[in-house]
Amino acid sequence: MEKKILIDALHSEEKRVAIVEGDTLVDFYVEVASKEQLKGNIYKGVIARIEPGLQAAFVDFGQKKQGFLQIREIAPDFFQNKKEGKRPRVQDVLAKGQEIIVQVEKDERDTKGASLTTYLSLPGRYIVMMPGQQRVGISRKIEDRDDRDRLKELFSSLKLPKDMGFILRTTCSDISGEELANDLKYLTKLWNKIQAESKKASAPALIYKEHDMAVRTVRDYLTSDVAEVLVDDETAYRKIKEFLRRTIPWRKINITYYRGKEPIFSQHAIEEQIARLNERTVSLPSHGYLVFDKTEALTAIDVNSGRSRKEENVEATAFKTNLEAVEEIARQLRLRDIGGLVVMDFIDMESAKNRREVESSLKRALSSDKAHFDITGISRFGIVEMTRERLRPSYVDSMNTKCLVCGGAGILRSDEMVAVSALRELHSKLSAGGVKGLTCRLPVESANYLINTKRSDILALEKSFGIAIVVMGDTKLLPGQFALDVEGLKETQKEAPKEARKEAHRTPRKEHRKEAPKEPQTEAAQEPQALQQEAPAEAQQRDKPKSRRSRQRSRRRRERESAQQAAREETQQNSSAQVSPGPAAPEAPSSGGQENEAETPRESPEEAPSGMQGEAAAEATREPQTEGGEQAASPEAEAPRDTELLQEQH
C-alpha cells in the first residue's frame, strides 16, 4: 500500500508530521516551539565539572542545564594525557576549562540534562558521515546479500576523504553510484563548513543546527514507496524543495503545497487517531484491549482479552488476541515513541508453538521501526522484555504537563480524607506548643465536612489547649489540598518567665552585697554573736563558714572576742540603764556559714530621727534573757536556720 507524508506546519507553535497508509496512521511526529529539540546539534563547549565517581564530565554548551558526557563518548583526539595499555580515566584525560566539540545525542528529559558525544555524525540522504572514525558499514535493514555486496563495491570506488567513517542508509539500497557521489559531496562541504565555524566560535557556542522537522522527515522517510508529500505551509514547502534540489536534483518527487480549506489532517481522517494517543487504553479488533502504564524506569503494556468470546476455547482466544496485540504494540511504540525498557504482559498460552508464533510476529512488526531495539522471548510467565531507542520527545510529553492537582498520579483524596488529614495536622501543631491562634483553610467541600461532622473534635481541642480554632473554605485551594495558618507566640513572651526567674534569683545577692555595712557594731547588735560563741564545739565544727563573707566575719569576730565579752558583762550589770546608740554593726554570720538573705539593713544613728534613736536604745534594754542570764537572739536579727540551731542547743 502506498504511503503519504502529511506535514502540518501552519501554526508556528506546533508542527506535526504524519505518515499514513491509506487511512491508517503508521508514524507521527510533533515539534513544539516551547520545547526546542536539540538532538543532532553540534556545539563548542567547555568542561565545567569532572566527576570521577561517574567517570563522566559535565559540559557547558550554552543551555540552561549542562550536558552529560561519559568517558566512552570521548574520542581519543580530545585526550590530554594518553597512556598506552591502560584504560583511560576521565580525570586523567580531561581538564576543567578544556574546550571540546560535542553533539547532542539525547535531548533533555525530566530533571536530566542532554546526553552528549564527541563522536559526530552528519546524516545525508543516503549516507551518514562520521568524522574521526575509520569504519564503513551498511544498514542492517538491507538484508539481501547481493544488495550489500553491490553497495560495498560501489562505495569503495568513490574518492573518500581521509579519517572518515560512513554508514550506508536503508534508502540507498536501489540507487546508483552517481547519487552516492552527490550525497558524499554534499556532506563533505557541510563538514568543512562546521570545521571553519568551530575555529572562529568562542565556547560555548552553536556550530551546526539540525534541520527543522519538515526537512528531517523528507530526508529520513522519503523512500520509493512514498507516493506523495503534502505540505500546508508555504515556508516549509520552500525549505523542503531547496533541500531536495541540493541533495537529489535529478529525482522527481511529488511534493504538493496543500491549499484546501479543510485542515490537512481532517481531510485524511487522522485527527481522531492522533487524539487517541493520549489514552491509557487501546482497543483491538476482537474487542480485546491494551493498557499502557508509564513509570520512571519503564513502560508496562498489558494485553487483555476483554469481551473477545468468538473462539472455541481459551487457548485459541489467547492466541488470537496476542497476535492482534503484537501489531498494535509495534504501531503504538512508533506513534508514542516509547523508549527505554518496555515490558509486555501477554495472555498466557500453553502451546509452545503458539508462543513461538507470537514471538516471530512481534519481531516482524518491529522490523520497520527506525529505532534500534533488543527483544527477549516470552517467559514462562507470559512476559516479553525489550529495550527501544528513543528517537525524539514523545507526543504525550510534548503536548502535556504534569497535573497540578494530583501531581501526575491520576488520583485524588476524597473530601472526607482531606478533612481528617487536616484535623490530624491541626492537633499535631497544637501539641507542639507555642501557638497563639490557628486557622485551617480547606476546599469548600472538605471545609463543610470538617465543620459539620468534626465539630465536637474541634471544640475538644479548643478546650484542651485554650486556643481558638478557625475553619474556613478557600476557593483558591485545589481539591485534595489544605493549609494551616499558625499565629505563634512572640519570642519575648516566651522568654519572659525564664528571665524573671533569673532576675529574682540574682537580686537578693546583689542587694546583700550592697547593704553589707562596714561600720563597727553596737553592743546590742553584738549580743547574738556572743550567744553563738557558746555553741558546742561540734556544732561549730559541722557548720564551718564556707563563703568569703563568712570567713571575713569570723576573722573579725575572733579579733573582737575579748572586747565583746567585756561589753556583755557591762550590759548585764546595767540592764536598766539606757545604752547610747552607736553606729549599726553588721550581723554575725549564721552558724551554717551561709548568707542571710532575709536580713534588712539597720539605719545608722546619724540618718535616723532622734526619737527613733531613743526607741531603739530602749528596745535593746528590754530584750528577754535566757535562764543562764544571757540574752536570746531576736528573730529579726537571726536567720531561721540559726534560730532552729539555738532551739536545739537549749
DSSP string across 427-496: HHHHHH--EEEEEEEE-HHHHHHHHHHSHHHHHHHHHHHT--EEEEE-TTSPTT--EEEEEEPPHHHHHH
- Cα 618 from Cα 306, distance rounded (Å): 117
Q: What is the pLDDT of residue 163?
A: 82
The neighbouring-strand residues paired with 51 are 56
Check if the beta carbon of residue 52 is closer than 8 Å to that of residue 46.
no
**Amino acid 535: pLDDT:** 42
Backbone angles phi, psi at 124, to 5 degrees: -115, -165
Q: What is the pLDDT of residue 504?
A: 44
Please tell me the pTM assigned to this model: 0.62
What pLDDT score was predicted for residue 48? 92
Instruction: List, in order, residues 6 or more apart from 541 with CB less than 8 Å away.
Output: none
Residue 437 cell numbers, joined: 491562634
Residue 441's pLDDT is: 92
Q: What is the pLDDT of residues 331-362, one digit of tens each?
A: 999 888 888 899 999 998 888 899 999 999 99
What per-residue confidence (pLDDT) applies to 478? 85
The Cα–Cα gap between 177 and 157 comes to 9
Task: State the angle between helix axes of 548-559 and 561-573 in degrees (0 to 180), rounded to the nearest 10.
Answer: 60
The pLDDT value recorded for residue 305 is: 85
Specify the DSSP element, H or E, that contains 247. helix 234-247
pLDDT at position 395: 66
Residue (of 486, 378, 386) closest to 427 by Cα position: 486
Going across the sheet that includes 255-257, the strands are: 24-32, 14-21, 3-11, 226-231, 255-257
Phi, psi (deg, nearest 5) at residue 141 = -80, -10
Instruction: Read off the C-alpha cell for 522.
Output: 553596737
Which residues in the chain land under pLDDT 50?
491-505, 507-546, 576-650
pLDDT at residue 547, rounded to an integer = 63
- What pLDDT does residue 489 have? 63
Return all residues near 157 (Cβ < 8 A) that are at least 6 apart. 177
pLDDT at site 522 = 42
- Residue 147's pLDDT is what? 81
Indicate the helix (H) or strand (E) that contains 619.
helix 610-621
**DSSP secondary structure, 565-608, as one string:** HHHHHHHHHTTTS-----PPPPPPPPTTS---TT--PPPPTTTS
How many whole angstroms separate alpha carbon 138 and alpha carbon 527? Answer: 123
Question: What pLDDT is recorded for position 591?
Answer: 38
Nearest-angstrom CA–CA distance, 286 and 289:
9
pLDDT, position 138? 85
Grid coordinates given for 231: 505540505
DSSP codes joined into one string, 324-338? HHHHHHHHHHHHHT-
The b/e string for 225-240 (b: 16+ C-beta within 10 A; e otherwise) is ebeebbbbbeebbebb
pLDDT of residue 211: 86
The pLDDT assigned to 341 comes to: 92
CA–CA separation, 31 and 15 (whole Å): 5
